[in-house]
Amino acid sequence: EKPQKRQGNAATVWAAIRDEAMACTRCPLYRDATQTVFGEGPLDAALFFIGEQPGDQEDVAGRPFVGPAGQLFDAALAEAGVDRSRAYVTNAVKHFKFVRQGKRRLHQSPDAGEIQACRWWLGQEIDLIRPRVIVALGASAARAMLGKAVTISRTRGSAIGLESGAEGWVTVHPSYLLRLPDEAKRAEERARFVQELRMIGARVK
């Protein structure tokens, strides 16, 4: 199954894809989520980030990376000298997957089938924007970018040629840094993440 050919300028085409994604029922996650959280950013962005899926706050706001992981991501990008406003930021899976625990909604990782179903939208975002560099944040994003499961530790640090012609990079997800219990380890891993973002940012300068 291939997406239909679309007429119009990039903004028109992007809005048409997003509007379709808003009504997506390709996997069951639309049932419990508040809304589809589509990607955002300039349609001529050279740099393209893929997260995992919207979290609790993103589900409500309708925008990617605005909650705690997003704040860490913003701070790391700023330290790395990468301008988020010039990048396109999206997620592998566009609906929030969670279980309820009392009043709280606890994040659950998307499974391979959900990631595969949602590649329908990610592929169209990549085809429209044609970024030079795509960065997968964490294992779900890496699976979406590469179409197969990989290990972050074995995949990070070197460029991967992608079918789209873009250069792919895999790194950790900001939430991984938030979850590290040991403060020294957290600082070390955060610094490594910032260094990687700086190096990747330089690829599009």
Measured from the CB atom, the residue of 104 and 205 that comes closer to ligand URA is: 104
In sequence order, what are the beta bridge partners of 169?
Answer: 135
Amino acid, res. 131 = P
With 0-12 / 13-18 / 19 or more C-beta atoms within 10 angstroms meaning exposed / middle / buried, residue 84 is middle
**Among 29, 45, 48, 52, contact with ligand URA (rule: CB under 6 A):** 52
Q: Whole-number minimum distance, CB 142 to ligand URA, in Å?
A: 12
Query: 137-176: which residues touch ligand URA (CB under 6 A)?
Result: 175
Task: Please spell the DSSP secondary structure of 73-94, one letter per residue.
Answer: HHHHHHHHT--GGGSEEEESS-
Strands, sheet with 133-137, edge to edge from the N-terminal-most edge strand: 88-91, 47-51, 133-137, 167-171, 160-161
Q: Is 70 in the site for ligand URA (CB under 6 A)?
A: yes
Task: Check: CB of residue 125 under 8 Å from CB of residue 34.
Answer: no
Choice between 1 and 179, CB closer to ligand URA:
179
Residue whose C-beta lies closest to ligand URA: 51
> Can you tell me which of 17, 46, 69, 144 binds ligand URA, judged by CB under 6 A?
69
Report the interface residues with ligand URA, using CB under 6 A.
51-55, 58, 64-65, 67, 69-70, 91, 175
